[in-house]
Chains A and B, each alone.
Chain A
């Protein structure tokens, strides 16, 4: 089934400016949920599906809403990979890669090293009294953790972060910028080399890492498959935990009474994590392609139609989350969509939960005394000059400037 690059008959057409979406997509999503919950958006080249219930329905029907999207930006950036496969092919790759990311492995194998890295990064900045917590802490932390879990011993945190950026820019290159394609391709080659070396070593000596697990999987996985899937994991594995860290820290710094409660009751960090992922989902949307004619939100989509599941919008759906635009760690527990659903449920969920909510936040807020945001006069829930939120396919703070009382 080849992909249809036009609107389905009867689908409302809504023009959205990508630059507006990058700045703040939430007003546009609210309008879509109200007036056109399935809408063809020409600048995206896809139908945007924006209501919570419709997204959950689609996620639970992978045989209709296929991950095998033709012409996918991710396919172009990294080649065939499990995010753009359906079961059983997806299942084989996922089963090979997943064991090191399961919660007991995270606790027993990785948590100690995650904490040491976080302490070292804080040692480096503690005396300065000021930092950009994205650049100086969160990004190097999650990048080093990712290198460890993947098994890429020869790669520095800087390598991983740079590769990740190059690939994420490719994956979200809906504007088709040739420079971004070039950088993504260079990163791709570098990752392939690093994975080939690691795979060779892991074949001789298994080390519990993701690459080792894939190399030694009961159902064989080829080197090219390992390389492509590691590219995908590097892409998401930096942005997503980094962005949850940044947005959550920023939300708390602007809400001292909540921060005070969480500091006194560390069990609440878990709630902060889930609410942050709901409020500003690091992945805002992902694509699907229909395998058959199917009616959703009152429109019959023909087979081959391209749909974007806008989980960032579902997570702000007022029919599920009251006062959905507010950050509220006490809201009734309703499952958010930030990790996706169905067979593609985020493989890094348990790693991210641990490194962010059990390590990064508690250490930052306990070690850096009197932590404060450096903010301009016009700070709001979409950010300020010193800490700006950006993106719609992927969304997070581009920087988080803070000060504290240096020892």
Chain B
């Protein structure tokens, strides 16, 4: 089962382990990771589950899909090259050890 580290804006981190195939946002919400709001519940309609993938792993995670790409232009915190919506990232064993940074703002 892959383990993901959420780096929070206050400098603390949360380590979450979830089954392969779990959506990153769902893993965060199931473990009440602060800062992953996910208002729309995973439909890429709200842009409130924004994360920055650690720069060293961006290639591993890959780029956003089309619908997500549009929504990322409208996030509360600035968009960066490593921005993803966590509801569009599916965990796999290949992503074990993934580090994502939670932005200051989601709304």
A residues apposed to B, CB below 8 Å: 59-60, 62, 91, 94, 98, 102-104, 274, 333-336, 339, 341-343, 345, 347, 349-350
Contact A103 to B107, CB < 8 A, known contacts A60-B41, A341-B40, A345-B39: no
* B93 within 8 A of partner (CB): no
Contacts of B107 in A (CB 8 A): 274, 333-336
Whether A104 lies near B29 (C-beta < 8 A) is no
Q: Chain B's nearest CB lies how many Å from the CB of A101? A: 9
Q: Chain B's nearest CB lies how many Å from the CB of A355? A: 15
B residues apposed to A, CB below 8 Å: 29, 37, 39-41, 43, 45-48, 67, 70-71, 73-74, 76, 105-107
Contacts of A94 in B (CB 8 A): 43
Cα-based distance from A343 to B45 in the complex (angstroms): 9
Most chain A CB within a 10 A radius of its CB, from B37, B39, B71, B76: B39
Whether A341 lies near B39 (C-beta < 8 A) is yes
Closest 4 CB pairs of A and B: A345-B40, A342-B41, A103-B74, A104-B70
Cα-based distance from A60 to B38 in the complex (angstroms): 10
Say what secondary structure dominates the interface of chain B: loop
Q: Chain A's nearest CB lies how many Å from the CB of B42? A: 8
Contact A103 to B70, CB < 8 A, known contacts A333-B105, A335-B48, A335-B107: yes
Name the CB-closest residue of A to B104.
A333
Residue contacts A-B, CB under 8 angstroms, 28 given:
A60-B29, A60-B41, A91-B43, A102-B45, A102-B67, A102-B70, A103-B70, A103-B71, A103-B73, A104-B70, A104-B74, A274-B107, A333-B76, A333-B106, A334-B107, A335-B37, A335-B39, A335-B107, A339-B46, A341-B39, A342-B40, A343-B40, A343-B43, A345-B40, A345-B45, A345-B46, A347-B45, A350-B74
Q: Chain A's nearest CB lies how many Å from the CB of B28? A: 12
Contacts of A103 in B (CB 8 A): 47, 70-71, 73-74
Count of A-B residue pairs with CB < 8 Å: 51
Whether B46 lies near A343 (C-beta < 8 A) is no
Contacts of A342 in B (CB 8 A): 40-41
Name the CB-closest residue of B to A61.
B41
Cα-based distance from A334 to B37 in the complex (angstroms): 9
Whether B39 lies near A102 (C-beta < 8 A) is no
Cα-based distance from A172 to B74 in the complex (angstroms): 33
Contacts of A102 in B (CB 8 A): 45, 67, 70-71
Cα-based distance from A335 to B105 in the complex (angstroms): 10
Cα-based distance from A102 to B43 in the complex (angstroms): 12
Cα-based distance from A341 to B46 in the complex (angstroms): 9
Cα-based distance from A334 to B39 in the complex (angstroms): 12
Cα-based distance from A339 to B5 in the complex (angstroms): 30
Contact A343 to B41, CB < 8 A, known contacts A333-B105, A335-B107: yes
Q: Chain B's nearest CB lies how many Å from the CB of A358? A: 12
Contacts of A336 in B (CB 8 A): 107
Contacts of A91 in B (CB 8 A): 43
Name the CB-closest residue of B to A105.
B70
Cα-based distance from A27 to B105 in the complex (angstroms): 31
Cα-based distance from A339 to B48 in the complex (angstroms): 12
Cα-based distance from A255 to B67 in the complex (angstroms): 39
Contact A104 to B46, CB < 8 A, known contacts A335-B39, A341-B39: no
